[in-house]
Chain A
Amino acid sequence: VWSIAQNSPNLFHTKCSVFSSNYLDVIRARSSCFAFPGRYYDYIFDFNKSQLGPAKRNSAVELKQLLVSVVLEPECDLYPSITSDESYTLAVEGPVAFLKANRVWGVLRGLETFSQLIYQDSYGTFTVNESNIIDSPRFPHRGILIDTARHFLPIKTILKTLDAMAFNKFNVLHWHIVDDQSFPYQSVAFPELSNKGSYSLSHVYTPNDVRTVIEYARLRGIRVIPEFDSPGHTQSWGKGQKNLLTPCYNGPKQSGTFGPINPILNSTYCFLSQFFKEVSTVFPDQFVHLGGDEVEFTCWESNPEVIAFMKKKGFGRDFQRLQSFYIQKLLGIVSTVNKGAIVWQEVFDDHAKLNPGTVVQVWKNEMYPVTQAAVTAAGFPVILSAPWYLDWISYGQDWRNYYKVDPLDFDGSQEQKKLVIGGEACLWGEYVDATNLTPRLWPRASAVGERLWSQQNIKDLEDAYDRLTIHRCRMARRGIAAEPLFTGYCNF
């Protein structure tokens, strides 16, 4: 099973239950709204080369039913959130398998586990070992970052990624949707942003596209957190929104190039208010990612109006204060529309005043445990990404390095460690598009997935290798072009 369940079931039982046919009767108890995801039938039973097991083993009991029960209000029609309960228990014994969860989110996780427990024996009979599983995630925020600005990703690719995420119990899609290079997000309030800022008119995500992604994700218990990164990384915004970016100067004259968003104009904040108002209605998640990374100060330094503003505000030559001034105003806008904020670590490092509850994403690799300690000591939740930049490819089995990371391995109190809400594997798009995204993400991201779901003591690399090679072939069988870990083959 990938990721290993919390109570690490012993799967060496000799007692097995078998399915007599390609059908499993699923009884839904106590939840009228819950619809059994038909795709799990395909995942379990769709083997091109499978034969219906004619020979039943004598000692085997036939598994006739999977009974699914949701204990509390299932939350079927809601969106998943950081507090969603993903716990479940799975008992496979005799003629009935019993999947019980508090919410529908736990049912989804349990179904995935159940689908991984089933295998075909040498006769082709679908078999499952008796199991008793009690499972829940170690961290509530387990995410994948995709970058649709450096390269446009067709919707199909994004949906495929969501499928693969579900197979690995990931529950957050961090959609880094726009950046310097292109602005594919079609805004209703500001249509020129994508008209002028996208690579081309066909390299755009319409409101319908966005809705499709959000609903597809929701049905897999995955939150969609959009990132509209500012004030840096915004070159493409300036194409469709005049006077948004800071004009750079060459001495006394404008050079014709632009820098980060101009933090000194009221029009900037008027725009941001309207823009984030729209974003808050389009994206239902509680949180929005505001970016705030890698702000280049040179353009601001060159602009005389910015210099004058700095003087007036008493910032001197400390541009971090101007950056913080911008971020704080943006945070204010975002809380007005009732969203929580996630920011990259620079916002914290450069001393902006953050509202409590603002999440800080740690991405810089140098001494990241020190950063984790500092952020949590200041009382802010942390998402860890620093050791999990999957776009940094290299020759060999780098998944082992991702697996070995311990997100709580830093100097801090128990309270501090509780503030680490999880992590994200990042696949930045400079060298990634639909041609190579899936093999580059999987199964390397799977290592991160287990690290975030399973308990700290699940560390054995050899056991992980054995299970991950099986899981990789499983993903391949389910249509995910996950690359191999090492030499070998898949049994289909």
Chain B
Amino acid sequence: LWVWPPGCSVLDEAFQRYRDLLFSSRSWQPPEPARKQHAPEKSSLVILVGTPGCNELPSLESGENYTLTINDDHCFLLSETVWGALRGLETFSQLVWRSPEGAFFINKTEIEDFPRFPHRGLLLDTSRHYLPLTSILDTLDVMAYNKFNVFHWHLVDDSSFPYDSFTFPELTRKGSYDPATHIYTAQDVKEVIEYARLRGIRVLAEFDTPGHTLSWGPGVPGLLTPCYSGSHPTGTFGPVNPILNTTYEFMSAFFLEVSSVFPDFYLHLGGDEVDFTCWKSNPDIQAFMKKQGFGNDFKQLESFYIQTLLSIVSAYDKGYVVWQEVFDNKVKVRPDTIIQVWREETPVHYTKEMELITRAGFRALLSAPWYLNHITYGPDWSEIYMVEPLDFKGESGELCLRTRGGWAGWLISPCFFVSSCRRGVQAQPLNVGYCEQEFEET
């Protein structure tokens, strides 16, 4: 491989990886005895990158276009950015095949490629179950094989708080499953971010509030709303308490840390499934609602919280992504907010939700039909594949989504799972069949 510009860490590391994936002996079946082949021999793939930006981070606006030209005279990969080169290298690695005699081949190729959508993400939940660092890094590898470019890290939730905060160490000490073993240190987080960057993957961190925060309570007394039964506190807690100044002081300090630790422009602030019952039961909150003139409309209280949080985060020069409830509950958000659609049927069918969000001028992320944790018997991958993200009423121009045709459908060709086997990825079978080299547990 010969590359311009030289000495680019993103590309150098990528070459190592792809060389190993393609040419190491464990990747392929042993060859049969050789027979002379008649085909022009290629000794190098030339890679030319226009504006490298090797030491930068990928962003929502990053271009990922590339062209790949393989013929008798030429063998090169051209891209404007280093991210495009990564995508092209992945494609290149999938085109290379090996004859039974052991020679490596690539067919004449003329590819012009770019992603249809600029945000292609995978969400992992490290709160319900702690995921060891190796699992996260392995996942980033597989994401790169599948040209995903956003790792949505749902770090904390009700169940546990594994994020090791330096501003509020008690959060982790009291909130993690086990502060000695089930945490992500600053070093771990750095490692994930860099590992992702080298694969052109953005890390979108989510700190979900005001709901889904039970694990925050033990480490920050007074943060969560105490629930009441009549006039007595029950001892249980609800969402973040939106009426106290201390709450916003905490959020300011906490999100200052988060903004500095996670370099992507966007932060995911959650905002989903806020249960109002605890708020309703609390007399101080009732008094606050009265004072603010919210009446009995707790959506307004939720709005009040979210808006304050959003301005805190904007002050740190971050953009934000929120779950759809924030939009559904009519919280006033900045025009460049991204809304993530996750609910399939309520309050409306997700296609209708996409229509409403985009008509209101916001950018949308679609997740509703892609909840992979909802397992079922059989080849459910086909329903996942058949989803058409733009299948709703609206003009294409409203979306942060390119609508030009020609997307890389070959990505999910029936042969794809074969190459997964070969790369030692624990990708489960789509249907009956076999891999030349089966996955072996170590």
Docked complex: A381-436 residues within 8 A CB-CB of B: 391-395, 429-436
Q: Are A394 and B375 in touch, CB under 8 angstroms?
A: yes
- Nearest chain-B residue to A203 (Cβ)? B434
Query: Shortest beta-carbon distance, B389 to chain A, in Å?
Result: 23
B308 at the interface (CB under 8 A from A): no
- Selecting from A134-142, A442-450, A483-491, the interface stretch reads A483-491
Query: Shortest beta-carbon distance, A433 to chain B, in Å?
Result: 5
Q: Are A154 and B434 in touch, CB under 8 angstroms?
A: no
Contact residues in A for B261 (Cβ distance below 8 Å): none
Query: B441's contact among A49, A156, A484, A491, by CB below 8 Å, is which?
Result: A156
**In the complex, A182→B432 CA distance in Å?**
10
Contact residues in B for A182 (Cβ distance below 8 Å): 434
Docked complex: A444-492 residues within 8 A CB-CB of B: 481, 484, 487-489, 491-492
**In the complex, A393→B377 CA distance in Å?**
5
**In the complex, A200→B433 CA distance in Å?**
11
Q: Are B160 and A489 in touch, CB under 8 angstroms?
A: yes
Query: Shortest beta-carbon distance, A390 to chain B, in Å?
Result: 10
Query: A434's contact among B160, B433, B441, by CB below 8 Å, is which?
Result: B441
Contact residues in B for A489 (Cβ distance below 8 Å): 129-130, 160, 177-178, 182
Known: A392-B377, A435-B428, A489-B177. A157 touches B441 (CB 8 A): yes
**In the complex, A152→B440 CA distance in Å?**
12
B383 at the interface (CB under 8 A from A): no
A438 at the interface (CB under 8 A from B): yes
Contact residues in B for A160 (Cβ distance below 8 Å): 441
Q: Are A431 and B438 in touch, CB under 8 angstroms?
A: no
Known: A199-B434, A489-B130. A431 touches B379 (CB 8 A): yes
Query: Shortest beta-carbon distance, B125 to chain A, in Å?
Result: 9
Query: Shortest beta-carbon distance, B55 to chain A, in Å?
Result: 37
**In the complex, A200→B432 CA distance in Å?**
14
Query: B433's contact among A151, A154, A487, by CB below 8 Å, is which?
Result: A151
**In the complex, A481→B439 CA distance in Å?**
14
Known: A484-B129, A487-B129. A200 touches B436 (CB 8 A): yes
Query: Shortest beta-carbon distance, B423 to chain A, in Å?
Result: 12
Contact residues in A for B439 (Cβ distance below 8 Å): 433-435
A20 at the interface (CB under 8 A from B): no
Q: Mark A345-370, 1 if CB is under 8 A from B, else 0.
A: 00000000000000000000000000
B402 at the interface (CB under 8 A from A): no
Query: A435's contact among B159, B378, B429, by CB below 8 Å, is which?
Result: B429
Interface size class of A (residues with CB under 8 A): 35 or more
Query: Shortest beta-carbon distance, B325 to chain A, in Å?
Result: 22
**In the complex, A486→B181 CA distance in Å?**
19
B427 at the interface (CB under 8 A from A): yes
- Nearest chain-A residue to B425 (Cβ)? A435
Known: A391-B377, A393-B376. A435 touches B434 (CB 8 A): no
Contact residues in A for B346 (Cβ distance below 8 Å): none
- Nearest chain-B residue to A479 (Cβ)? B441
Contact residues in A for B431 (Cβ distance below 8 Å): 430-431
- Nearest chain-B residue to A440 (Cβ)? B428
**In the complex, A432→B375 CA distance in Å?**
14
Query: Shortest beta-carbon distance, A396 to chain B, in Å?
Result: 9
Query: B438's contact among A181, A433, A484, A488, by CB below 8 Å, is which?
Result: A433
Interface size class of B (residues with CB under 8 A): 20 to 34
**In the complex, A143→B356 CA distance in Å?**
54
Docked complex: A109-160 residues within 8 A CB-CB of B: 150-152, 154, 156-157, 160
Docked complex: B259-273 residues within 8 A CB-CB of A: none
Q: Are B429 and A433 in touch, CB under 8 angstroms?
A: yes
**In the complex, A394→B130 CA distance in Å?**
22
Known: A151-B433, A435-B427, A435-B428. A487 touches B128 (CB 8 A): yes
Query: B373's contact among A395, A429, A430, A487, by CB below 8 Å, is which?
Result: A395
Contact residues in B for A199 (Cβ distance below 8 Å): 433-434
Query: Shortest beta-carbon distance, A425 to chain B, in Å?
Result: 15
Known: A393-B376, A434-B441. A429 touches B177 (CB 8 A): no
Query: B159's contact among A152, A156, A487, A491, by CB below 8 Å, is which?
Result: A487
Known: A203-B434, A433-B429, A491-B178. A154 touches B440 (CB 8 A): yes
Query: A395's contact among B130, B178, B375, B427, by CB below 8 Å, is which?
Result: B375
Q: Are A438 and B441 in touch, CB under 8 angstroms?
A: yes
Known: A488-B129, A489-B160. A152 touches B376 (CB 8 A): no
Q: Are A395 and B376 in touch, CB under 8 angstroms?
A: yes
Contact residues in A for B428 (Cβ distance below 8 Å): 431-433, 435-436
Contact residues in B for A181 (Cβ distance below 8 Å): 432-433
- Nearest chain-A residue to B434 (Cβ)? A199
**In the complex, A491→B429 CA distance in Å?**
31
Known: A156-B441, A489-B177, A489-B178. A395 touches B374 (CB 8 A): yes
Contact residues in A for B430 (Cβ distance below 8 Å): 431
B296 at the interface (CB under 8 A from A): no
- Nearest chain-B residue to A149 (Cβ)? B432
**In the complex, A191→B178 CA distance in Å?**
56
Query: Shortest beta-carbon distance, A216 to chain B, in Å?
Result: 15
Q: Are B159 and A432 in touch, CB under 8 angstroms?
A: no
Contact residues in B for A391 (Cβ distance below 8 Å): 377
Contact residues in A for B379 (Cβ distance below 8 Å): 431
Contact residues in A for B177 (Cβ distance below 8 Å): 488-489
- Nearest chain-B residue to A179 (Cβ)? B432
Contact residues in B for A200 (Cβ distance below 8 Å): 434, 436
**In the complex, A395→B432 CA distance in Å?**
22
B426 at the interface (CB under 8 A from A): yes
- Nearest chain-A residue to B374 (Cβ)? A395
Q: Are B376 and A394 in touch, CB under 8 angstroms?
A: yes
Contact residues in A for B436 (Cβ distance below 8 Å): 200
Query: Shortest beta-carbon distance, A176 to chain B, in Å?
Result: 13
Contact residues in A for B427 (Cβ distance below 8 Å): 435
Q: Are A156 and B440 in touch, CB under 8 angstroms?
A: yes
Residue among B130, B160, B178, B377 with the most chain A CB within 10 A?
A: B377
Query: Shortest beta-carbon distance, A247 to chain B, in Å?
Result: 24
**Other than the known A152-B434, A203-B434, A492-B181, what 15 A-B pairs have Cβ atoms closer than 8 Å?**
A151-B429, A157-B441, A181-B433, A199-B434, A203-B438, A394-B377, A431-B379, A431-B431, A432-B428, A433-B434, A433-B439, A435-B428, A435-B429, A487-B129, A488-B177
- For this complex, 16 residue pairs linking A to B, each with C-beta atoms less than 8 Å apart, are A151-B429, A392-B377, A394-B376, A394-B377, A429-B432, A430-B432, A431-B377, A431-B378, A431-B379, A431-B431, A433-B434, A435-B429, A436-B429, A487-B129, A489-B177, A489-B182
Task: Identify the A interface with B (CB < 8 A).
Answer: 49, 150-152, 154, 156-157, 160, 181-182, 199-200, 202-203, 391-395, 429-436, 438, 481, 484, 487-489, 491-492
| Nearest 10 interchain pairs by C-beta | A489-B177, A199-B434, A436-B428, A487-B128, A487-B159, A435-B426, A150-B432, A435-B439, A392-B377, A395-B374
